[in-house]
Amino acid sequence: MDVVFERGPELDVPHWIEKLETEEFEQFLAGCMPAQAEGADMEDVEALKAQVKKLNARAMEMKMALHDLSEELPAGLEKVMDVARETQEAFQNLDAARKKLAAATA
């Protein structure tokens, strides 16, 4: 799957997130995941995949917000720590969900 991410005025964050929400990307993710364990409930695994997808989108959104804020410095300096903290929390939540999904599919 060849997806090129560019940053420019014609490509905003929600637009490239939509590229990640395609059937082709779902198939790519399915190919990366190990085979289902016998005891794993398929609905729970699907729910975990959906949660990981949402948390990934949130983490990328926060990453871009932090990046955009850094480009505007020193304006907005008072917001940097709050946005950085939210970004860190988003990535921690994503990491925890990915570990939970890996455990469920192992």
Superfamily of chain region 42-106: Helix hairpin bin (1.10.287.660)
Compare 28 and 99 and report the one with higher pLDDT.
99
Cβ neighbours of residue 64 under 8 Å, at least 6 residues apart? 13
Taking the model in full, what pTM does it have?
0.61
* Tens-digit pLDDT profile for residues 61-84: 999 999 999 999 899 899 999 999
Could you tell me which of 83, 57, 87, 55 has the C-alpha nearest to residue 69?
83
